[in-house]
Structure 1
């Protein structure tokens, strides 16, 4: 198989963790697959661009249909989801998904766990050339050289026979292909997705029906006089409901802690621009402009592209004002690799700290991490020194990883 086809490029870029760029119709870079029209594979040597609907050489089960580049890329982006969540999101976005029977085989091949797959279709032009056909022995006679050259050029009888044999070749049946069978369960997937969508619609309607309607007879009517009335002497500790609601909401906002060192790549000067605008700016440049250093930042992010609601995150670089109950809201810590950063924290040992929170270590792509980082349970984020358009892919990787961790470890927070 050619190294320039979309399937090979997607596998190579996934194994080597190179960024894959999504481009919209107007040429701008996007993060959502549904907003893109083209997928770009670019490295230091060359660049390849394919429409996202480009078919690949990976066959769907035992049928003659092949998966598209869009389907395989969507599977890689949602590999952490369960089968039900993956199928439901694919149906909502209108993207064809990989069948349940093929999912693990496709992921193993694209991530490099397996070197090949029985479902890959090899074109005749890729298999007709055998090893050693291009090698010509200098000790051979002229007649032998002409005979081999004629066979390679396709004008001899041997070449016709070879083409006929290749055209009739079929993939051998393996234990994996026999167990998979030749039946398609696509209709069952569609039925299951329909059931999930109906169930979600019923739950939404039931939630709306439970809310009291102030316009209906008998519904409690809010009194502006009662709302404005201060607490009575019989209950001096009573507080307005708006204050209680505000306190309840703020107690569920996740907290991100970054290093306080001025030499750190990420500081309170540039963290908001990186995580919200997906663009890295040197902290020194911002300080030179005379910008004051904020004590606390609020970063807002949409969990889904078509979602109107934005989830807030609090970002701090000092834990001096954290209350004991606030530590339960800490979901992420950026570290520089120095253990003194955790002094006076609730968890002062890296082994204990990164067992309770998600850890990240940010570095330049061309530098090696510190030796201490290799022994800590942290995830590395690599930024390119000069290619700012690649920042978007790194930030997307960060948010996806953090959200997966929060879902598994702290689902009670408002993320």
Structure 2
């Protein structure tokens, strides 16, 4: 029995619990077993044949919302059933309909050669096929003289293409997420090492020249860090302290940018809601996140690393000298116990950003409009616009850092 018919049979009989995955195959009780990657006869409206793994996961989870189903399937690395295919497929598997135009069952055995494997079982490299074909012709057609038999024509008659160029490029049942994660980590480590090497080289050069301020220093220059070691600067001086600069974000979930999703927004230019990130991270709350500007209008610009934190109370006095930006809630209590007189002083020494959805009520930004902060608007649904918003944050931040460094 083919995988699709077996799954339909078990679904109608209410025996889905008997379908168990064991290593790389699904076992249908003690009746059948199929490889997880085996294609079924059900073709999606997008043109591809669904695998038995995709259909088993769908029929066992068809009762949940489509968005949640897509997210869960993606997390487990399983291809999902598209929304247009959901109802027709469910109706067929549950027996509400007996057939569907989307079903393309395998071609039956060749009636000319009943002893040969079916067309879909044929593999050109199998020598048994050739032998069986010869025997079949001798028996059925009475050929006695093998010199009159065109064996190649017989073989071609039962050949079929197993894969074409398009199906090879689709890489079905392959998940390259781990490859992406590994390569990204390697690239980040390479950039970190190169940045440190450049910094060490400039520090050594400046010491050798005995120079304090000859153009090598200045945190906000094109190199993106302070090459001359200076004593830590106090807030009254207006400059940035020694070390990696800090960006503060609110710890409250009612704000758009938090410690959970700030990295994707600033590094990749993509806004992911905090609740989604919390589920993906399984609730693990990072104390500190490092972000870098990985996209720019200026492709030759060297990226700078920033620390992102959401616990101002944990900052030491010297840490405050490194704080360059803050994402604000729009509430005064966010700045309680900060080492400043008021929000006027705060936003003279630290650049502020307020993130909002573009169609939200302006009432939410009532306090913010009285502060010296930049309001950044993003769309609730148009994720392709996030990059422009993130780039605006980076442009404002870098301009502010340069002005502080040279003040």
TM-score (norm 2): 0.39
TM-score (norm 1): 0.38
Q: Which has the larger radius of gyration?
A: 2
